[in-house]
Chains A and B, each alone.
Chain A
Amino acid sequence: MSDAVISAKNLSLTFQTNDGPVHALKDINLDINKGDFVSFIGPSGCGKTTFLRCIADLETPTGGSITVNGMSAAEARMKRAYGYVFQAAGLYPWRTVGGNIRLPLEIMGYDKAEQAKRVTDVLELVELSGFENKFPWQLSGGMQQRASIARALAFNADILLMDEPFGALDEIVRDHLNEQLLKLWARTEKTIGFVTHSIPEAVFLSTKIVVMSPRPGRIADVIESTLPRERTLDIRESQEFIDIAHRVREGLRAGHAYD
């Protein structure tokens, strides 16, 4: 055991449906180390989101084991070990941006002064300072998603789980947010689990790319990125980047993603 923050052993999850059992995950073995940026990529139905939800204790595995920070996923959730960013920003329309970020802090019982300080801090982190008193509908889609990332960061969990957070945004906004996310990751030194279906996004962001394939959901390839931790968007033109993207594509093909 090295310094694995998240560790899955023979993890399986089978849903019982009316059409018989569906093997969402089968024998997943994976270690995620502290400070890693791990992307999960694969076609729909490959179990990438399900795996993230298992880490978050939003799904209960039917076989194998998973530990988060050395505890069971349920214990880790109760200790608020991670912040979770969903596909949609899901901000409450009746709360301001600041109020939305304060929400988990209120639930976790931080005092008022601490709440105010943290809201200011994370808003600065996602470059939304000055928007604290705006309502969500006054923000663009990209800004809303940044606010939702700020909310996930507010209580300073070491792990950040992100489920296709930029999936609904256009490519220009997405590039910008990806760059911001890398900066944020460098500053906060969090461990990030990131689900995506975009190959360039996965290669650009990750230190480790987990390629998954469907029916049953399993890991087809794990690619350790050789790119430096500090990256700019230009790196996407480099040969190294293209080689890694090629290997991801090979992994997807081997997993019959293109059938």
Chain B
Amino acid sequence: MTKLWHNAAPVLTILALLMALWYGAAVALNAAWAKDKAARADTLLTFSELVSDTMSQEKPLLPAPHQVVKEIYKTTVLKKVTSKRSLIWHGWITLSATLLGFAFGTTLGILLAVGIVYSRAMDMSVMPWVITSQTIPILAVAPMIIVVLNAVGVSGLLPKAIISMYLSFFPVVVGMVKGLRAPDQMQLDQMRTWNASKSTSFWKLRLPRSMPYLFASLKIGIAASLVGAIVGELPTGAVAGLGARLLAGSYYGQTIQIWSALICAAILAASLVAIIGMIEKVTLRKMGMLP
């Protein structure tokens, strides 16, 4: 129990601090609108009236935390998951694109890394393109991918997954190239003394050696994947998904809706990274690489 408290205390302290900051900022930012309303109604607000007004506006500049929590509660627990107003429904749509894109990106990343490590031509030619691909703003590329794929009859999940892949393959390539090259010269010489083939060295030495690098990459990759899925939902005209909620919210000035979608996306990202972290721990412990 004391150990739990020991671990939780710093986290809770920071959380409390953030909440205080958030409430303070909400009061400060929303005060102007509250005063405006009061001036038009020709009344004077006391301080406590002012504060309570800043926390209960319908379209505040910055919604207070409890407003966001209430909105999230309303759109998750109180709505059926099949409803188009359910954040769970929207979240699932984003999540499915994220996971598919993550799977594509991881596969592509590992394949490219293997090619780069084993082929000198690929080593010289591919890496600059991989880096270039990430310097182009995804916001510029995403609509083109959606439009081009739509023109050839592909729409829905796949285009979003491809945008996710576009963002998530990069950390995997970089991490796996480093991981597959992690064995030192001595270990490679040793394989040579046993007259081991290239594929044997790959499966027995390079691949297991790269596992810690892979997991580090996957954690970045899955978060990038989620960003990709959300970005991919923006140019489709706000049909469905967390990205659509963000866009629809900003069309109509529904700041509470924007913030609740944002918080949900953040929770989703944190959970995904945490799940990868758990798989990492279990795998590395099983491999004997963690004490």
Complex interface: chain B residues within 8 A of A86 (CB): 186, 189-190
User: Contact check: which of A77, A90, A95 meets B190 at CB < 8 Å?
Assistant: A90
| A80 → B minimal CB distance (Å) | 6
> DSSP majority for the A interface?
loop
Task: Give residues 44-95 of A contacting B (CB, 8 Å).
Answer: 56-58, 77-78, 80, 82-84, 86-88, 90, 92-95
Check B194–A108 contact: CB distance below 8 A: yes
* Bound Cα distance A102, B195 (Å): 15
Asked if B235 lies at the interface with its beta carbon under 8 angstroms from chain A, I say no
Which 6 interchain pairs have the tightest Cβ spacing? A94-B287, A84-B193, A135-B288, A104-B194, A107-B196, A94-B208
Which residue in chain B gives the minimum CB-CB distance to A93?
B289
User: Contact check: which of B191, B193, B200, B205 meets A82 at CB < 8 Å?
Assistant: B193
List 23 A–B pairs whose Cβ atoms lie within 8 Å, in order of A's numbering: A57-B192, A58-B189, A58-B192, A58-B193, A77-B192, A80-B195, A84-B189, A86-B186, A87-B186, A90-B186, A90-B187, A92-B209, A93-B288, A93-B289, A94-B209, A94-B211, A103-B204, A104-B194, A106-B204, A107-B191, A107-B194, A107-B200, A108-B194
Interface of A with B (CB < 8 Å)? 56-58, 77-78, 80, 82-84, 86-88, 90, 92-96, 103-104, 106-108, 135, 137, 155
| B184 → A minimal CB distance (Å) | 8
Complex interface: chain A residues within 8 A of B211 (CB): 94
Which residue in chain B gives the minimum CB-CB distance to A95?
B288
Question: How many residues does chain B have at the interface if contact means C-beta atoms less than 8 Å apart?
Answer: 20
Check A107–B204 contact: CB distance below 8 A: yes
Which residue in chain A gives the minimum CB-CB distance to B196?
A107
Complex interface: chain B residues within 8 A of A56 (CB): 193
Complex interface: chain A residues within 8 A of B128 (CB): none
Interface string of B174-190 (1 = CB under 8 A from A): 00000000000011011
* Bound Cα distance A256, B224 (Å): 62
Complex interface: chain A residues within 8 A of B205 (CB): 92
| A184 → B minimal CB distance (Å) | 19
Complex interface: chain A residues within 8 A of B10 (CB): none
| A6 → B minimal CB distance (Å) | 15
Complex interface: chain B residues within 8 A of A95 (CB): 288
Complex interface: chain B residues within 8 A of A155 (CB): 194
Which residue in chain A gives the minimum CB-CB distance to B284?
A94
Asked if B291 lies at the interface with its beta carbon under 8 angstroms from chain A, I say yes
Check B194–A80 contact: CB distance below 8 A: yes
Complex interface: chain A residues within 8 A of B204 (CB): 103, 106-107
Complex interface: chain B residues within 8 A of A104 (CB): 194
Complex interface: chain B residues within 8 A of A92 (CB): 205, 208-209
Complex interface: chain A residues within 8 A of B193 (CB): 56, 58, 77, 82-84
Interface string of B279-291 (1 = CB under 8 A from A): 0000000011101
